[in-house]
Amino acid sequence: MEKVYFDFIAPLGFRHRIMTKENMEYSQNKKSYNMEYAKKNLKRIPLDVQLSKYEEIKAAASAAGVPVNTYIKQAIDERMAREASAGPEN
């Protein structure tokens, strides 16, 4: 007996998709593409901080309405911009 797959919209407007062979293949292709892109274009930077410091960062990021990762990246960008505008140190 062959299964029948379909899309349906649930209450509150959430869209659910039953996984089919076709969209599973698409998902695998997308996953492979994302992994390949990451290998070529991204560099992971491990960052270890004390748990208490992480909680401070997390609270600040939450207050700013952004994820911790975004908060850290913005802080780095802001510091680099400040240092660039300050000019070379003597």
User: Both 14 and 38 in a single domain?
Assistant: yes
Counted domains in the chain = 2
Residues 37 and 50 in one domain: no
Q: Would you place residue 3 in the very low, low, confident or very high pLDDT band (cuts 50, 70, 90)?
A: low
- The domain of 20 spans 1-42
End-to-end CA distance of the chain: 79
What are the residues whose beta carbons fall under 8 Å from the beta carbon of 67, sequence distance 6 or more? 61
Say if residue 53 is in the same domain as residue 90. Answer: yes
Confidence (pTM): 0.62
What is the per-residue pLDDT for 18?
66
Q: Are residues 26 and 11 in the same domain?
A: yes
Domain co-membership, 50 together with 90: yes
Residues 50, 85: one domain?
yes
- Whether residue 86 sits in one domain with residue 52: yes
Share of the chain above pLDDT 70, in %: 77
State the Cα–Cα distance between residues 90 and 83, nearest whole angstrom. 13
For residue range 27-67, list pLDDT tens digits in order: 888 888 889 998 999 999 999 999 999 999 999 999 999 99
